[in-house]
Each structure stands twice: as structure tokens, then as C-alpha cells.
Structure 1
Amino acid sequence: MYVKKNIREIKQDLRRRYRTYREALEPAQKVEMDAAVRRRLFRLPIYRNNRVIFIYVSKPIEVDTIGIIQHALAHGKRVAVPRCIPGTYQMQFYFIRSLADLEPGMFGVLEPSAEHCQPVADLRHGLCVVPGLSFDAQGYRLGYGKGYYDRFLSSFGGQTAGICYRACVPWNLPHGYYDRPVDILITETYIRKTGSRPASRQEERHD
């Protein structure tokens, strides 16, 4: 019990640290960093070659995803956005055709309209852009503590990409045996292949 409590406290401290950093970003600086993350994502084969993009709608402290959604739709990709299922810690993805298909949902986040959007039935393929307050160099993530994405990723068969600010990427984060690292990590200054094998400090691409 002591070890579990200690890990929980460590995660809460890390969440406060990275939330504080994000909240302190100057708006112009954040816009520039978000654009740099997008440019790196758009150049990657993992993005260009996938026709289905699973992606969240960002909160103000997260890397902006509206530009990613617009780019994907403009380039003929199918875009799937999550909707939280009330009374659970699970979510269902729905295909959207435009930003007009989104409406305010749980936690004040925009979600697809279940009435007007088609639910995603096949989770075997596609690229999932994964949110996180922090990712470590191995691709493990620190979320908000609710476990929505941990549950989803356990049944997702496609590829995954974490997007995050460089200052929120330590070398290691506490994680469990069943936690799944993202396949690739993208920050405003580099791209790192991660996944199931240990990352090396030489694997960063700063293009």
C-alpha cells in the first residue's frame, strides 16, 4: 500500500508541474510551438500514409489539435474524435466531416455529436494522436488520471503518436506493466521513435 500511495503522489506532483508549465506559456510562444509540432507530424509517413486519424480536441493547455483536424479533413482523411460515455471511464470515437459536427461535452471539451456522426467500429487500423500532460523518452504517457486513453489504447490496433512540449518530456515516467507506449513522440524541436523497444538518446530527429 505504501508503494502505491507513493507512486500516486509522484504522479500528482508531476501533473502539477507540467500543468503549471503549460499555463505559464506566453500565447505567442504557444502558437509557435504548436505550429512546429504540426509541421513535424505532417511530414511523417505515419501520418501521410494513414487514411484514418483518431484525434482528440485539445484543451487550452494542450498542443493545439484544431489545425491537425482541419489539415486531415482537407487532405481527404477520415477523422475520428472521441466522445466520453457517461457513467464510465470509457469513450467512443465518431467520424466527423467538419468542425461543425462538434459540440460541448464532458469536462468542457468539444465532442462529436452522437446524433449526427457515425461511430467507429474498426479499431484495427489508423493513427491515433494521443494526448498527455507528459511523455517520457520511451513513449510512456502521463495523462490526467481518469484512464480514458489507457483503456482505449488497450484495444486499439493501429499506430500511435504522442504530441507534447519538449519541456514536458523527462527521460522516465512511472508506468505500469500493461501501459502501452506510443510508437513515436513529436515535440516542437524533435521527433523520437519510441514504442516497445528502449529508446536511445541518439534516436532524436531534429528536422
Structure 2
Amino acid sequence: MKKELRLQTLAMLDQIGAEEFNRYAALIHEHVLQLSEWKQAKTIALTMSRGKEIPTMPLIEKAWEEGKTVCIPTCFPKTKEMVFYEYTPETKMTSSYFGLLEPDPLESKAVHKEAIDLIIVPGVCFDQHGYRIGYGGGYYDRYLADYHGTTLALCLSVQQVDDLTAEPHDIPVSIMVSEKGAFYQK
């Protein structure tokens, strides 16, 4: 079920033309920057986007401009752990897990979970309760299990489904932002 939904959603994303995608992404960025949760956050965690993910670089640059601390995760497949490291224009990045760009753990400063105000959580599709289907690693569900800050997802309308059968370990995001605006999960 999850696998099929993941593939269906990725196929739908592939059908969106570049111009339309960029227009929607710009709207999503505008909505995020208006949120009080964004404005109040001093430390923001997100991933380096790729493919048909809503680009995160404009948000990273805006966060730097606003004097926020940005952190990016590095995944450790052996222990199934994920650690966020401070990300600046000087951060040495390595291409690793799934070909994602990640901070080099040996040369980066780890950021403790308690210090992160807002985590932008990646995912392939989301339901109206904030549950998500990610990329299958389970890193975020494990990381968010004892995280007490705000979680936010960036998604296009085509990535929203009615209902995902949530499993006990699934952690919903608290805010979803699409090209149509921000939606809070109660």
C-alpha cells in the first residue's frame, strides 16, 4: 500500500511541468515565510532538496539572511540514526546515503534536538492528519519520536491524500504548507 502510493505520487509529480512546479514552489516559500513559527524560530532544520521536492535552498538562504541557524541531517545507515549539523556556506558537504548531500560529520558542529525550533520534514505524500509516506528509511519517524518543537511539511496538492493508515511509529507533522496555503493539524 505505502509502496504503491509512493510510486503513484512520484509519477504524478513527474507530470508537472517545470514552469508550473516553480510557480507552486514560490507560493509555498511565500506561505512558509509568513508563518509565525518560521518568524520565531531561531534554529531551523531541513534537508537539501532534490528532484521534484520543493526546493529548500531559497528557505536556507532566507534563514541565513534573517540570522537563523540552519541545520541539515546526516544519516548513519549502520545505526539507523540521523544527526543534524549546522549548515553555513562554508560547510563541507559529502554525497552519501541515497546520493543526498549531507554535512561531513567530521568537520561539522552537531545541533542538539532541543535546540531545533522548526524541522521541515520531507515526504512523498501526506494525509489531512499530517501523516506522511517518506522515502522509506524511517529516519524521521525515529528522530521525531521525542522531538517537541514544530514540524512542517512542504507539499503540492497532488501529494495530499485523504487518509494514510498510520502505524504506531508514524509521527504526524504539525503544519502542512502547499501552494494553497498553510494547514494546521489538530
Q: TM-score range by the shorter chain?
A: over 0.9
Whole-angstrom distance in 1 between the partners of 2:151 and 2:3: 25
Q: Could you list the runs of 5+ residues in structure 1 that have no partner in the other structure? A: 1-9, 198-207
2:101 aligned residue? 110
- The alpha-carbon deviation at position 115 of structure 1 amounts to 2.6
1:187 aligned residue? 178
1:5 aligned residue? none
Structure 2 contact 9–159 (Cα < 8 Å) conserved: yes
Q: Which has the larger radius of gyration?
A: 1
| Counterpart AA for 2:56 | T
- The answer to whether structure 1 residue 151 and structure 2 residue 165 are counterparts is no
Q: Deviations over 1:149-195 (max 9, x none)?
A: 1111112221111111111101211111342211111001121111x
Instruction: After TM superposition, list the pairs within 5 Å mapping 1:6-85 onto structure 2.
Output: 10-85=1-76
Whole-angstrom distance in 2 between the partners of 1:106 and 1:187: 27
**Aligned structure 1 segments of 4 or more residues deviating by more than 3 angstroms:** none
Three-state SS of the structure 2 residue aligned to 1:13 is helix
Structure 2 contact 13–158 (Cα < 8 Å) conserved: no
2:156 aligned residue? 165
Whole-angstrom distance in 2 between the partners of 1:101 and 1:35: 28
Taking every aligned residue pair, what percent have the same amino acid on both sides? 29
Whole-angstrom distance in 2 between the partners of 1:70 and 1:101: 17
Cα distance change on mapping 1:99 and 1:69 into 2, 3 Å: farther
Q: Could you list the runs of 5+ residues in structure 2 that have no partner in the other structure? A: none
Q: How many aligned positions are there?
A: 186
| Counterpart AA for 1:38 | H
Whole-angstrom distance in 2 between the partners of 1:52 and 1:148: 20
Cα distance change on mapping 1:22 and 1:52 into 2, 3 Å: same
Cα distance change on mapping 1:99 and 1:72 into 2, 3 Å: farther
* More relative contact order, 1 or 2 (CA 8 Å, 6+ apart): 2
Structure 1 contact 83–92 (Cα < 8 Å) conserved: yes
- The alpha-carbon deviation at position 69 of structure 1 amounts to 0.9
Compute the TM-score of the two structures, normalised by the length of structure 2: 0.94
Q: RMSD of the alignment, in Å? A: 1.5
- The answer to whether structure 1 residue 97 and structure 2 residue 88 are counterparts is yes
Structure 2 contact 132–172 (Cα < 8 Å) conserved: yes
